[in-house]
Structure 1
């Protein structure tokens, strides 16, 4: 079985060493490197590309939010598992919109960490029970954001944002270098996928989930 290649990033040395000690003897996991800030993640990636990055949010020089944004733009196949003390719904939703694949609190047991890693490697998402319970009223938003990230293509996301910014079909076609017919096809597909009734529903969806941030 091919080993899962992992980079671990956290600015707390003891926690970083603790995660390494939990994972380094796992037969199906290889630790490519450990980083104490976001910039160090990209230094490690100059020599090896990981399958998964275990990522803290609060780090010096470049935080986990910025790392997630860059990774998902440049290396969309790399999975991001956030491991943090934060359980704020706004932070979680923002990271999901950027493409984070999972969220785990730092008090998690080893078995949950391993389960999250293997779940994400399979292409699924993982959000720990504590996060979902604490944000019970927002569970549907977390799930819908996850659906949004996994089900819409990059082109559909782009067009949805342009629609929400009130560009006309012709203007969107010009900006994206596609035909008006293709824009209209994407619009119809978005309405169907997001289960809304019309363009106004698309705009409401984009605003509700913070796509215009």
Structure 2
């Protein structure tokens, strides 16, 4: 199987070294470079070949959100996962608007970060369950929970609950004994019915309308 080439961006050198050691315990993940701020990352786009960038948000000279926007404007195919101590809904929105495909909180276990890398490498998005929980709590406090019933099939209801638990399409498919393609069809249907943009906004919608 092909290696997953990862570029790390964080202004804390000790954290970078620890992350590199941890990631390379996985046989497929290879760290091919590192930078200490957004400017380093943008320079690396011209000289380094990698599949995924893991990038902090709060960095000197250029933060991760600005760097992500500029990188994606330059290379549409680039895949970015933000790794940050910020787990609030406001930072989530900024990360999504910047075009990142994942958001992992820094206090996550190593297996979660590796899972995020594999998911994003396969073209899926990944957001820490903790982020989903915080987003749901934030929106629940701002809005009265409605008892509106939406026309979801039994299977869509099952898929919705699993998405809100942070499960990937492959994990849902295995649990329900259906194909990943079928899971994606249910996910697309849920997004359309709820007018949600992604898994996090879908989870927030579900919490607002008592669908969990």
TM-score class normalised by the smaller sequence: 0.5 to 0.7
2:94 and 2:42 map into 1 onto residues whose CA distance is 22
Query: What residue is the counterpart of 1:38 in the other structure?
Result: 38
Give the TM-score normalised by structure 1. Answer: 0.63
Corresponding residue for residue 9 of structure 2: 9
The aligned counterpart of 1:107 is 107
The residue matched to 2:103 in structure 1 has which SS? strand
For the aligned residues, what is the CA RMSD?
Answer: 2.4
1:18 has 2:31 as partner: no
Report 1:111-126 matches (<5 A): 111-126=111-126
Q: Distance in 2 between matches of 1:120 and 1:82?
A: 12
1:34 counterpart SS class: strand
- Alpha-carbon contact 1:53-1:79 (below 8 Å) kept: yes
Q: Tell me if structure 2 keeps the 8 A contact 1:132–1:139.
A: no
Greater radius of gyration (CA): 1
Q: Deviations over 1:17-73 (max 9, x none)?
A: 110111124321121111111111123332223211000000111110111101111
Q: 1:194 to 1:25 in 2, by over 3 A?
A: closer
Any idea what the Cα deviations from partners look like across 1:60-109, whole Å, max 9, x if unmatched?
11110111101111112111100000012112112102211010011111
Match of 1:74 in 2: 74
Task: Please say if 1:29 is aligned against 2:29.
Answer: yes
CA positional deviation for 1:138: 5.6
What is residue 48 of structure 2 aligned with on the other side?
Answer: 48
Shift of the alpha carbon at 1:195? 6.8
Q: For 1:77 and 1:109, locate their aligned partners in 2 and report how far apart those are by CA, in whole Å.
A: 27
Give, in whole Å, the separation in 1 of the partners of 2:83 and 2:113.
9
Q: How far did 1:120 drift?
A: 0.6
Structure 1 residue ranges without an equivalent (≥5): 144-192, 197-213
Can you give the 5+ residue segments of structure 2 that lack an aligned partner in the other structure?
141-159, 161-190, 195-212
Give the Cα–Cα distance (whole angstroms) in 2 for the partners of residues 101 and 71 of structure 1.
Answer: 13
> Alpha carbons of 1:139 and 1:79: their partners in 2 closer, same or farther (altered >3 Å)?
farther
The 1:68/1:89 distance shift into structure 2, 3 A limit, reads same
Cα distance in structure 2, aligned partners of 1:58 and 1:111: 23
Once the 2 structures are TM-superposed, how far is the Cα of residue 137 of structure 1 from its aligned partner?
Answer: 4.2
